[in-house]
Structure 1
Amino acid sequence: MTEHPAGVEPYERGMEAKRGGDLAEAERLLRQAFEAGHPGGAHELGHIAAERGDDGEALAWWRRAAEAGLPESAFEVGYGAERAGDLEAAERWYRRSAEGGFSGGTLNLGILLENRGDVEEAMGFFRRAWDLGSDKAAFNLGRLYDDDGKGDLDAAETWYTRAAERGNGGAAFNLGFVRQDKGDPAGSLQAWRQAADLGHPKAAYCLGAHFEQAGDQDTAIGWFRRSVQEAGAEQAARRLGDLYRRRGDEPRARFWTEFPNGLSGYSPEFTMFASAGSAAAIQRQNLLNEAVGEVHIAFDVDARTLTAGGRTFHGMTFLGSFSHLSDTWLWAWANPHFGESVPAVAPLAAVREHGERHAVPELAAGRLDLSGFPEPHQAATTMAIAAAALLGGGGVQSCRVNDGKGSFYFHVDDPALPKPEFDPLSATRLMMTAAEVFPTEQRRVVSGYLAHHGCRIRESEEVVEGISPQGGQVTVAFTPDGLIKATSAGRATAG
């Protein structure tokens, strides 16, 4: 079947309906497109069927599209045959896909041939797949030439380098070992850095191990932390914990050792960050709670609005989600269903950048297992409220989703919301409440709140005193252990 102009218009309308989520209309139009001579209609119908779990119908549509000349559909049929164990049929369809110039079919044909021992022919198809744009093909050529360090290392380096230049993290990682085998330690480190930047889960660990062995503990800690944050690497977590313990830093040792399997407390970096803004965050939260109330919440991530009780608030940022099943937090920027380009998620870049710049792992890691906390849900709420301070005014609202199995968290920065003001009497209550959340940083809680409201601060070992621009005065006395002992509030006296 050759493509007929009459099929183009229903195909384009069908794809638009598919993107808009109207699958019934999409199927109707794509069928019409295929019947009018557009093989892409059958190919897309195959994907729709596959997405709803009907593999048989999907393969039937892909077969029709393949027979009409689409090489990407021939690839899908070949892949289905390979999964079913029919390697003869898989090879036949992969060859058909390769003949049509589809890189996926060409690559998979090479892999199939290699697995049955036809290495030379496989390498030929890998080269063809590379010419068609497949970085995985170059990776496979590098792997075959490498032969676990026993082969042609120059050729392996060439192909791994080509794949890495196209963004293949596995190739960059393996390139590091090839260069190591060739006696190029500097080149090895450069390749592992590239692999780490490309998201390879083991590259940061290798760099950490290298620098620890070289005696550069600070650099080793940085790479081990990255390995744990980005890949949850337990081996890196153990070595990181050991490094901190050797330094006498038990809080950080405990935090990083726990990180892969369930935190029971915040990192010292997060505690310092969050405690300073905690009282102000509670004040903003109280004002938002009064404005919103206990009502049903609706949200629009494109318009950045949150609607509650018939009132619509603007400036909404989708912070993230908490799973009540696994006790895990997922920042919205790390959620594959949303992503950083969504308008309500884009502002979160400020939170992530702050976490990376100031080494606050709770703000930089996409996913956090909070299962070790006494109250994981409350731990997530505290984290969301603290992080929201980086996004401006307002507070945080949450709502249950997925039949109560999860919660979504939103920050609202609407100019129409009431602005928090400094009142000496309420200030002492706010600071006492925040001090209960961060009991080890009570002095920081007090100083942070007073600074937030522009108070003139006077400090001694025993007392922190703040005088607001309006003349309100708060005095907080501390024990030698840094715990709040007494508070007083009133008007500042002249003099």
Structure 2
Amino acid sequence: MTEYPAGSVEPYERGLEARRGGNLAEAEELLREAFEAGHPGGAHELGSIAAERGDDREALAWWRRAAEAGLPESAFEVGYGAERDGDLETAERWYRRSAEGGFSGGALNLGILLENRGDVEQAMDLFRRAWELGSDKAAFNLGRLCDDDGKGDLEAAETWYARAAERGNGGAAFNLGFVRQDRGDPAGRLKAWRLAADLGHPKAAFCLGDHSQQAGDENAAIGWFRRSVQEAGVEHAARRLGDLYRRRGDERSARFWSEFLSGLGCYSPEFEEFASAGSAAAIQRQNVLNAAVGDGDIAFDVDARTLTAGGRTLHGMTFLGSFSHVSDTWLWAWANPHYGDGVPAVAPLAAVREHGARRAIPELTVGRLDLSGFPDPHQAATTMAIAAAALLGGNGVQSCRVNDGQGSFYFHLDDPALPAAEFDPLSATRLMMTAAEVFPTEQRRVVRGFLAHHGCRIRESEEIIEGVAPQGGQVTVAFTPDGAIKATSAGRAAAG
């Protein structure tokens, strides 16, 4: 391990901490101090900060200083800059210096330069060196060169692709499937493609879906095509799903998946089934919360999990996500690069995502959703946020405009100091009718879900659903033969 002058380490560490905290002015001052005291890492970090703000010239100047002071990762950046400018001779010199310093990226990129120049043997030696230094891409390249489009040393290709896949390289796992097929191992091909899909390779899930469909297993094909659409945005998979569901007579699913990539105009049947059951109770919670909190400016703290509205600080806040009024898209907070799962106010969302995964509800598991096909995309996002928040219990959802009105943030509250929603037979009928308008194809589920939420004793037939609450209130809802609400009544349950 390289030792740096004692006076350079402390400002370097403080500079890194300031950078992580977003205090770039302080970070730059400390990192400059560290470099001047003899720590080349200070110059490297200063180069990275300059690159992030788009000042490539300053970034390269700092990286060159760090490289000249012996930092191999900075030598790689200088080489990469030269290669980008078309100066391959300079790029090779810096890549070689980086590789000799023990940086895997230098050996890898030098190997690619030499391969492109026709020196395959030396390139392979460099790829082996990069592999020893920890580069999965180097093993992928070795597998590719050994494979030679199925005409080379397939045993060696399988070995290198497998090694790269073990280190998380999805492309290697995908190519490994073809090599195994060429070597007469069709089961091994599917195993490799399943690994590639789990590693996020954009073609693997589609290929598995295509294989399943050709084998006559439509259920497996649908599962893989759904993953292909959700995880990789593959248009062919969306079209296949639409065709498969249409042949089954499931027009709702066919429409949903056909629109998934171009702009949703409806929810998935799985989401409607989930959301409709809790919809009336969610509306009731919202009414109680809105009355308690009122209107006013909102401030929030994602670390303390607090939300301040109208001068009142509320606790148990979960940051759900955001809606863009510019692109009509919803972004879950866990998929927002500025936040992520590690933020205290985002961590509870894991329960929502896990529920979505268990029930195959795409709206709860896909990080970004295009809602532009809905008549009112903002309302569609609000409905989705409120329905998902019901999984967290608590009080309901608050939202506020951000970025000069271009977006909206959504928050869930679970503060025991806020009033709870109680069962009232008269308001219950209005709540269920309102929710039934939101989910017109799931009206029986709306009624059944609300009554069950309040612990009612439920009696159900084809014509009615009747619920008697523990407190004695009674609600009766009559339905048409096609499942729409026809009439409601409410009052006290009969004695005896």
Q: Secondary structure at the match of 2:300?
A: strand
Question: 1:20: Cα distance to partner?
Answer: 2.0
Specify the alignment match of 1:301 in structure 2.
302
Q: Secondary structure at the match of 1:307?
A: strand
Residues 160 and 172 of structure 1 are in contact (CA less than 8 Å); yes or no, is this contact kept in structure 2? Answer: yes
Count of aligned positions? 495
Specify the alignment match of 1:463 in structure 2.
464
Specify the alignment match of 1:477 in structure 2.
478
Question: 1:2: Cα distance to partner?
Answer: 8.3
Equivalences for residues 346-361 of structure 1 within 5 A: 346-361=347-362
Specify the alignment match of 2:21 in structure 1.
20
Question: 1:286: Cα distance to partner?
Answer: 1.1
Specify the alignment match of 1:260 in structure 2.
261
Question: 1:266: Cα distance to partner?
Answer: 0.6
Q: Secondary structure at the match of 2:322?
A: strand
Question: 1:427: Cα distance to partner?
Answer: 0.6
Specify the alignment match of 1:276 in structure 2.
277
In 2: Cα distance, 1:365 partner to 1:283 partner: 27
Residues 2 and 38 of structure 1 are in contact (CA less than 8 Å); yes or no, is this contact kept in structure 2? Answer: no
Equivalences for residues 96-495 of structure 1 within 5 A: 96-495=97-496
Residue identity in the other structure for 1:188? R
Structure 1 residues 88-109: Cα deviation after superposition (integer angstroms, max 9, x where no partner) = 1111111110110101111111
Q: Secondary structure at the match of 1:149?
A: coil
Question: 1:302: Cα distance to partner?
Answer: 1.4
CA RMSD in angstroms comes to 1.3
The farther-off stretch of 95-104 and 238-247 is 238-247
In 1: Cα distance, 2:410 partner to 2:481 partner: 38
Residue identity in the other structure for 1:489? A
Q: Secondary structure at the match of 2:478?
A: strand
Question: 1:492: Cα distance to partner?
Answer: 0.7
In 1: Cα distance, 2:426 partner to 2:273 partner: 25
In 2: Cα distance, 1:119 partner to 1:289 partner: 69
Residue identity in the other structure for 1:107? L
In 1: Cα distance, 2:307 partner to 2:113 partner: 52
In 1: Cα distance, 2:226 partner to 2:21 partner: 41
In 2: Cα distance, 1:298 partner to 1:104 partner: 44
Residues 169 and 198 of structure 1 are in contact (CA less than 8 Å); yes or no, is this contact kept in structure 2? Answer: yes
Q: Secondary structure at the match of 1:397?
A: strand
Residue identity in the other structure for 1:310? G
In 2: Cα distance, 1:68 partner to 1:453 partner: 70
In 2: Cα distance, 1:85 partner to 1:404 partner: 44
**What is the TM-score when the length of structure 1 is the normalising length?**
0.98
In 2: Cα distance, 1:337 partner to 1:184 partner: 44
In 1: Cα distance, 2:76 partner to 2:349 partner: 39
Residue identity in the other structure for 1:428? T
In 2: Cα distance, 1:22 partner to 1:393 partner: 35
Residues 333 and 348 of structure 1 are in contact (CA less than 8 Å); yes or no, is this contact kept in structure 2? Answer: yes
Structure 1 residues 357-412: Cα deviation after superposition (integer angstroms, max 9, x where no partner) = 11111112222111111111111110010011111121111112222222111111
Q: Secondary structure at the match of 1:458?
A: strand
In 1: Cα distance, 2:26 partner to 2:343 partner: 25
Question: 1:36: Cα distance to partner?
Answer: 1.1
The farther-off stretch of 240-249 and 73-82 is 240-249
Residues 2 and 68 of structure 1 are in contact (CA less than 8 Å); yes or no, is this contact kept in structure 2? Answer: no
Identity %: 85
In 1: Cα distance, 2:436 partner to 2:395 partner: 21
Give unpaired runs (5+ residues) of structure 2.
Answer: none
Specify the alignment match of 1:6 in structure 2.
7
In 2: Cα distance, 1:344 partner to 1:115 partner: 49
Question: 1:52: Cα distance to partner?
Answer: 1.6
Runs of 4+ in structure 1 off by over 6 angstroms are none
Structure 1 residues 44-85: Cα deviation after superposition (integer angstroms, max 9, x where no partner) = 111111122211111101101100100011011111111111
In 1: Cα distance, 2:23 partner to 2:285 partner: 41
Residue identity in the other structure for 1:269? E
In 2: Cα distance, 1:160 partner to 1:124 partner: 16
Residue identity in the other structure for 1:122? A
Give unpaired runs (5+ residues) of structure 1.
Answer: none
Structure 1 residues 192-219: Cα deviation after superposition (integer angstroms, max 9, x where no partner) = 1111111111111111111111111111
In 1: Cα distance, 2:183 partner to 2:213 partner: 22
**What is the TM-score when the length of structure 2 is the normalising length?**
0.98
Question: 1:4: Cα distance to partner?
Answer: 2.1
Question: 1:5: Cα distance to partner?
Answer: 2.1
Residue identity in the other structure for 1:228? V
Q: Secondary structure at the match of 2:487?
A: strand
In 2: Cα distance, 1:229 partner to 1:13 partner: 41
Q: Secondary structure at the match of 1:408?
A: strand
Question: 1:116: Cα distance to partner?
Answer: 2.1
In 1: Cα distance, 2:261 partner to 2:22 partner: 37
In 2: Cα distance, 1:374 partner to 1:137 partner: 50
The farther-off stretch of 266-275 and 287-296 is 287-296
In 2: Cα distance, 1:250 partner to 1:469 partner: 40
In 1: Cα distance, 2:240 partner to 2:36 partner: 62
In 2: Cα distance, 1:353 partner to 1:410 partner: 19
Residue identity in the other structure for 1:427? A
